[in-house]
Each structure stands twice: as C-alpha cells, then as structure tokens.
Structure 1
Amino acid sequence: MSTRYTELLGIDHPVVQDGMGPFRTTGLAAAVSNAGGLGSLSSPTASGARDGARELRAAIDECASLTGKPFAVNIPVDGKGHDSHSFTRAFLEVVVRARAADSAIASQLRAVTTSAGNPADHSAMIKDAGLVHQHKVGSTQHARKAVEQGADVVIASGYEMGGHTHSKPVHTFVLGPNITEAVDVPVLLSGGIRDGRGLAAALCVGAEGVAMGTRFIASDANTEWHPNYARAILDAREGDDVTYPGFFGPVRGLRNAGSELLGSIIENGTSTEDSLHEWKLAAMRKAQADGDTVDGLVLAGQVASALTEIVAVAELVPGMVRDAVRILDDLARRLPAAGVTSMS
C-alpha cells in the first residue's frame, strides 16, 4: 500500500509502532520495521539525560543490527517534575551523532517523533540533520502550529489512546478528520486502532496511515516487557481503563490497586512533585519489568478491551494492509456503479 507517508519514510506499509516509553522497545521496533512498518525506539527518560543518552545510543546500535529497514526514535519535548528540555536536547544530539558516525544507521534512522509539548525549539535541529520530523498532537490547533514550525508528519492521537493522552478529550474519529482537513502534510491516526478495519477507516477520513501502541504490547515481539503486562491487557474489558496524572499530562491505563493508590496519594497532598514523579516511575517499572500488574501502573488504551490474543508482528502488519484493501474493495463493489441512488 503506497501513501504519501510510506513514500516519505521508504517503508512498505503505513503502520507505525507508536512511542511506548520510557522503557525499552528495541526488539519490538526492529520487528515492526522488519514486517514492513515503522518501528519506534522509546527514549529512556526514566534514566535522566546523561544515562538515558547512553542507553538510547546503545538501543540505536542494537536496533540497526536487528533490522536493515527504516526506524524512528520517539522523544518527548516537555514535562513536569524533571528537566525535560535537557534530556530532549541530549537525546536529539545522540540521534544526530549516531547518523553522522555511521552511514548505515543514517540510511535507517529516518525519523524523530516529538510528543508531549511544543517542538519549536527542536524542529530545526531535526530537519537540519536530514530527519523526517513527526509530531504527535491532540488538537487541530496544535497540528497547525506543528506544521508551521516545520513538522513533516502529524500524528493525530485521540483521547482513547494509552499512555500519555491529552487534557482536552477529543476522540480519534473526531480529531482525525479535523486535522486532515486542516494541514497538508501526511497525517497518521493513533488511538483505538487494532486491525485492518482501523486502517481502512483512517484512510477514509484522509489519513495516510496509523500508529499503534497497545496492540503491539500484546504481541510476540514485545519481549522486553514482562508477560504479565500483555496478559493484563488481554484480560481488560470495556470500562476497565482510567486516566490519572502522568508526567506530561493525563495518562490512560488500567484501573487497579496501583492507580487507586496513586489517586489517594495525590488527594492526600503530602508528596512533593519530585517524590511523586519517582513513585510513578517505580510503579511503572513494577508492571513493565517485574510483572506486578496489581500494584504497578499498567499504561494501556481503551482498545485493550478488544484484544483477546497475542499476535505475531510479522503477520499483523502486512495482514492489516491486506484486510484494509479487502474492506475498501468490498465497499466499492457494493456501491452502485453510477453513484449513490436516492433511498426515497
């Protein structure tokens, strides 16, 4: 399937693995890229700027060794409770230096996705390095502003998405058409997408591809996270998700003892901003690394309620495209050849 997005990135399928930080997604990113989509390395912001920069460079080298195809890096650009500007610049410098030092990496590391804040201070650095600049937004106003500041691609992420979401709730299939009408760059839809039906619907509202996070957590390639995390997602039902304060804004995850404890800590009001920041990171590690999905924070989107099995990434990505094409072909065949007729 060829769209403006696949042509811009040099990939086979308009399916992107969204940023899923702040912990490792190296093997998953390589698997998605090998399947013909675009995998994304998550920035290790939990490690701080200096240690995180070293971890990111190692992840770039490892990902490049696992795939010969394009991949991206996701870097947040704003936050509360830590020096986000410092790690943003440090991580961008790592990306730029890695490309400059290795021509093979330069040919593969094609894009940087910025998220969580205004990318104005960083867009020039991304573009000057020859990278495609993708920016994730939750409003049409922010989409327009990102394009004005040089973004090549906009990721329209609806409120139902997992992980960091937006303070003003606009859902995917309201936000998506609004943004595709407002900007002239390729737009990806994110939030609530899980299969070829979502891809077909995204194309119908003017998008050029989709980005997914929760669907890829419950996959055979997500080996860097504890299996209990994927199991919690597969066990989730409609209404099992909840939003709570994250690092850059609201976060969507699964309701459990950990999310309820966080609510109590915030309501009590005795924790400092720094101590609360550290508590959240530790609770995320409990779930992702240790498999404690009861007391840890399990970030996931509402689409978790529709997922019932672990999927193979190598089959999922091209399968989504095949299904989307079939759906769109079937719809076209059902329409009268001369156009839609009156139902009166």
Structure 2
Amino acid sequence: MTFTGPLSNRYTDLVGIVHPIVQEGLGPFRTSKLAAAVSSAGGLGTVSMPGMPADLDAGARTFREHIDECASLTDKPFAVNIPVGVDGNGVVLPFTDVYIRTVLSARRADSTLAKQLTVMTTSAGFPGDYISMIKNAGMVHQHKVGSTHQAVKAADAGVDVVIAAGFEMGGHAPSKAVHSYVLLPSVTEAVDIPVLLTGGARDARGLASALSMGADGVAMGTRFIASTSNSDWHPAYVKAILDATEGDDVAFDGVYGPCRGLRNAASLMLTNHQDEGGEIRDAVELTRWKIESMQRAQTDGDIVGGLVLTGQVASAIHDIIDIAEFVPRMAAGAADILRRLAASFPATTPARA
C-alpha cells in the first residue's frame, strides 16, 4: 500500500510510510515506546537491540518483548536495528546471529507481526551472508555505512537501502570520520538505491538539505529522545541533552569503534584510555562495562558516571517535542522550503550577450 505525504518518494513507497523520517537505532536501550510513537506519526520507528548479555537466550527474550511491546502500541510498520559485531578475526559475534534469528523467527511465528515488522537495519560490521537471509525472509534491509566504499559494497551485495552516517552522529559513529556534507553527496552519486542521512538533522531544514543532496530521507536519534512521547529515557538524560552546548560532545572508544556522547567522567576515562578505578580490564570486561554504563545513563539517569550517547546536534536542541505533531510538521516544512527555493530562481537562465 502506498501512503501519500508531502515528500512521498521511492523510500516511503518501499517501506510503506508517509514521511521519509526515520528514528535511528538507539541501542543498547529499550526504545519500543519511542519507535511506536514515530511510526504512528507517519515515520519509521526502530526497536533497538537490548545489548550483549552474557545469557544470549535471555537477551533474545528481552528483544522479543520489546518488539511485541512496540507492535502493541502501533498498527504501523516499524524496524529493528542490529549491529553486526565481529571479533579480531572478522568472525561475526554470537549476539548478532541470535538477534537476527530472533527477529526472523518472530515474523514466521506471527503473521500479524510480520506485516508490521518489515524493516531490518544492520550497522557496524558488514552483514555478509545475512543479506540473503533477510531478503529471503521478505524484509527490507537497510545497512548503515560510513564511507562511499562501504555504500557501494553494501548496494552491490543486495541491501535495499543504505544509511550514510556522518561523523557528527551520536552513539556509534563511523571509523572513517567523514562528516555528512562530504559523505552524503558522494554516496548518493555512487549508488542507485535509496539513501538516508543520519547525523546532524534535527528539523525541516536538515531534511530539505539532505533531499537536496540526493538523499531519500533522514534518520534521527538525539532529536527524538527529547520528546513528550518518550518514556524510555530517564529525565536526567533528556535534561543533559537540552543543556548541552557546542563543544560538550566528544568522540571516544565505543563498542564497535568510535562513539559520540557528552563529555563527562565516563567518556573522558575512555578518551584518556584510563580504566575506571585504575584497574585493568580485559577486552570483554571493558566492553560489558561500556554497555552497562550506556544503559545506566538511560535507565537510572547517571549522567556523570554513565555514557550519555548523543550527537553534536544536541547543542541545537532546546525544546521537548510532541512526536505526533513534529514528524508531519517536519515533512511539510521541508517540502515548503524546497518549493520556496525552487520558486526563488528563474525558470531559465538568460544567455549572456
């Protein structure tokens, strides 16, 4: 079914939404309520994977609970986001396999859910053999990339959509460290599948700009955290975003590579390559500490000792939005900007004498 909005395009037609506005994957957090709100508003919400627990079966059950919660809160399409983690030898980590299979199994077991859970976003490592697995299951496959080379590789391998991730994005940022205004035009020139921009967008102007550079839509994370529809984040976390000013963010060593969040005791410990309490952790222990620290900031509001993931755009966000009103207004505003710009130039350029 095709839904018509002011910016309907090949991407909205592909995923069955009204507005080309996507809520980013925001793991390792619970994002089911936020995802449902964005989808109900005509965008595409995303349920994030719940982390890397020692008991992966328990993690899979938690993930399924979050998916079912989102489906119970909206009757619109929504996505899931699963990072592709790899070890030092390039072997995919078990949690990725378990979570992808959890999603595919949930769709097979529930035909009603399958009509809503229609999009899978992968990020971090290259999805490889999972591309055909996702495609054969009938899902739209989006893959996040941080370079033009990665975009071409993903498109050639058969993904349906690429998400071009500018280095200013929050959470796990691309290791190539290319910013949106450089990366996006190069990616849209290089592939002929739909492209979304993630990193730096917060309103109609960002969406209009992305469309002008050839993108088919935008994905946002930080903007959606500061919303009345969102009870997934602790109020202290939201306030930290609202209080952030330019320069308050920092890139540090995350789980899959660079990560961006607010400058605090936890992130500075990582940027200075120091261990909490002066004790040396092995790689696995340190990874679990990072994930638990991210979750503690979200759920408990520990914005000093926890990792507060956010993009640079936090410095420009000062208000709490209502998602149901914001998403269609953002799309309509972007369409209006593009119409005004088109009307401001003459239809033809007079030839010089």
Question: TM tier, shorter chain?
Answer: over 0.9
Q: Which runs of 5+ in 2 are unaligned?
A: 1-6
Greater Cα shift, 259-268 or 317-326: 259-268
Aligned CA distance change for structure 1 residues 341 and 202 (closer, same or farther; 3 Å):
farther
Greater Cα shift, 8-17 or 101-110: 101-110
Greater Cα shift, 55-64 or 3-12: 55-64
For residue 329 of structure 2, what is the aligned residue in structure 1?
319
Match of 2:134 among 126, 133, 156: 126
Residue 42 of structure 2 corresponds to residue 36 of structure 1: yes
Aligned CA distance change for structure 1 residues 340 and 115 (closer, same or farther; 3 Å):
farther
Aligned CA distance change for structure 1 residues 269 and 176 (closer, same or farther; 3 Å):
farther
CA distance in 2 between counterparts of 1:341 and 1:198 reads 33
Aligned CA distance change for structure 1 residues 227 and 340 (closer, same or farther; 3 Å):
farther
For residue 139 of structure 1, what is the aligned residue in structure 2?
147
Task: Compute the RMSD of aligned alpha carbons.
Answer: 1.9
What is the correspondence of 1:151-300 to structure 2 with a 5 Å cutoff? 151-264=159-272, 266=274, 270-300=280-310
CA distance in 2 between counterparts of 1:67 and 1:313 reads 13
For residue 106 of structure 1, what is the aligned residue in structure 2?
114
Corresponding residue SS for 1:168: coil
Corresponding residue SS for 1:289: helix
Deviation of the 1:222 alpha carbon: 2.1
Match of 1:2 among 8, 16, 23: 8
Report the TM-score when normalising by structure 1.
0.95
The one-letter amino acid of 2:80's match is V
Is the 1:80–1:247 contact (alpha carbons within 8 Å) kept by the matching residues of 2? no
CA distance in 1 between counterparts of 2:42 and 2:169 reads 23
- Cα deviations by residue, 1:311-332 (Å, 9 ceiling, x for unpaired): 1111111011111011111111
The one-letter amino acid of 1:274's match is V
Is the 1:23–1:46 contact (alpha carbons within 8 Å) kept by the matching residues of 2? no
Corresponding residue SS for 2:96: helix
- Cα deviations by residue, 1:100-126 (Å, 9 ceiling, x for unpaired): 111111111111000000111211110
The one-letter amino acid of 1:67's match is T
For residue 332 of structure 1, what is the aligned residue in structure 2?
342
Aligned CA distance change for structure 1 residues 18 and 120 (closer, same or farther; 3 Å):
same
CA distance in 1 between counterparts of 2:293 and 2:60 reads 23
Greater Cα shift, 186-195 or 258-267: 258-267
What is the correspondence of 1:56-71 to structure 2 with a 5 Å cutoff? 56-71=63-78
Is the 1:79–1:247 contact (alpha carbons within 8 Å) kept by the matching residues of 2? no
For residue 80 of structure 2, what is the aligned residue in structure 1?
73
The one-letter amino acid of 2:67's match is I
Match of 2:27 among 21, 24, 29: 21
Corresponding residue SS for 2:300: coil
CA distance in 1 between counterparts of 2:335 and 2:221 reads 22
Deviation of the 1:272 alpha carbon: 1.4
- Cα deviations by residue, 1:74-93 (Å, 9 ceiling, x for unpaired): 00112459x95311111111
Is the 2:28–2:50 contact (alpha carbons within 8 Å) kept by the matching residues of 1? yes
Corresponding residue SS for 1:328: helix
Corresponding residue SS for 1:47: coil
Corresponding residue SS for 1:76: strand
Is the 2:251–2:271 contact (alpha carbons within 8 Å) kept by the matching residues of 1? no
Q: Which runs of 5+ in 1 are unaligned?
A: none
Report the TM-score when normalising by structure 2.
0.93
Report the count of equivalent residues.
343
CA distance in 2 between counterparts of 1:226 and 1:291 reads 5
The one-letter amino acid of 1:43's match is M
Corresponding residue SS for 1:338: coil
Corresponding residue SS for 1:266: coil
